[in-house]
Amino acid sequence: MTTPTAVHPTPAPIHHASPSRRSTVVRLVALMIGPVLVCLGLGLSYLGAFHDPQPNDMKVAVVGSSPTAKVLAQTIKDEAGNGLDVTTVPTRQQARAHLLDRDLVGAYVPTPKHPELLVARAGSNSNANAAQSIFRMVTDKQGVPLKVTDVAPPAPQDPNGGGLFFLLITLSVASYCCVLVLAPLEKALGMRARALMGLGACLAVSGVGILLAGPVFDVVDHSYGSVWAMSLLYCVGVFAVGLGLQTFLKQLTPLVLMGLFVMLNLTSAGGLMSPEMQNDFFGALHSFWNGAAFVEGARSILYFDHHDLGSHLLSLGLWLAAGVLLTLLAARTETRRGLARLSSEQQGLSSDRVSECVHIHEPGEC
């Protein structure tokens, strides 16, 4: 009688993830962190800049030198706290001059029956609205209407004064897109060729920008050449910074450029919300960031008789200089990398030739 043989089940093979598959998964996870960082950055920057706007060291004045005017100024300051910097100006004419020099946001002319508020809406619509709200509370207590006089109105086709800010968005996005378009050509084209192509693109972008803002939509209704020149200076500065960073940051470049020229730049430009209506962080950025320099410089040209234009041009020039310096460092780095790569290839080719010679000839003959 034959004894039955026990059949043992064959264990299922254990599949281990290959190293290439693991590295692919890790890379995909790392790439998906990018959108999360973009969401976090945009949320922090835009909500941080624009939520709950309150006056922050906003300079206003009461017109008059009488004790009554001084008491009114002190009363308004006491009620507003640190948000307002309230002074007195002797005459209405002097108050108007301070507004056009952008030293004041609003100037209140108190009279028993017809009080008047002077504003410069072209400098900042948000500032004008804030000043109007503040002094309307004063006239409401007196039971009289408030007359608002705009000493520097924006262009008729741009009543809220936001057109220059939207032009800034157009120029910013188009300029750093030029960097991203040229990034894949890093190995095929040298730095000089890419820089010249980018300069040509900036000429085109700034030209299209002033064409749209000027004749098409009348946001810019005069001084086309001056505003175009500032647009070109801004575009070239953004492109130069991005071109220089691309060599060092590689795939991180889009995220960094978005941080520099969208998250921090657009929120501190003063286009929709002035620094006097933002916290100290964005107010500080407004003093030297290139987007703010473009917006305030264009306002200076269009509405304020070129007042303080030099400081805005200086800011744009410094950003361009930083971009040129970064580009020169990047060009030097790329040249050094190219020489190292060529040397490595030559050494590899020499080793291959020696190995081939050893196989064919005696070792002493090679």
User: What are the CA-CA distances from residue 209 to residues 169, 201, 365 (Å)?
Assistant: 10, 12, 70
Residue 22: per-residue pLDDT: 78
Q: What burial letters (b/e) apply to 271-297, b meaning 16+ CB within 10 Å?
A: bbbbbbbbeeebbebbeebbbbbbbbb
Give per-residue pLDDT as tens, 35-78.
Answer: 888 999 999 999 999 998 999 999 999 999 999 999 999 999 98
d(CA 168, CA 159): 17
Residue 34: per-residue pLDDT: 81
What 3-state class would DSSP assign to 147? strand
| pLDDT of residue 120 exceeding 60 | yes
Residue 220: per-residue pLDDT: 95
d(CA 205, CA 203): 6
Residue 81: per-residue pLDDT: 82
Contact yes or no for 85/60 (Cβ under 8 A): yes
172 pLDDT band, cuts 50/70/90, is very high
Bigger pLDDT: 52 vs 302:
302
Dig out the tokens for 256 from the structure: 């960094």
Range 85-89 average pLDDT: 95
Residue 187: per-residue pLDDT: 84
Range 214-238 average pLDDT: 96
Mean pLDDT for all residues in the chain? 89
Sheet strand arrangement including 84-89? 84-89, 58-63, 106-109, 116-119, 147-150
Nearest residue to 136 (alpha-carbon basis) of 127, 125, 126, 148: 148
Residue 92: per-residue pLDDT: 95
Give per-residue pLDDT as tens, 240-281.
Answer: 999 999 999 988 999 999 999 999 999 999 998 999 999 999
User: Which residue carries 């290439």 as its tokens?
Assistant: 20
Residue 26: per-residue pLDDT: 77
Give per-residue pLDDT as tens, 284-297.
Answer: 999 999 999 999 99
d(CA 242, CA 244): 5
d(CA 286, CA 282): 6
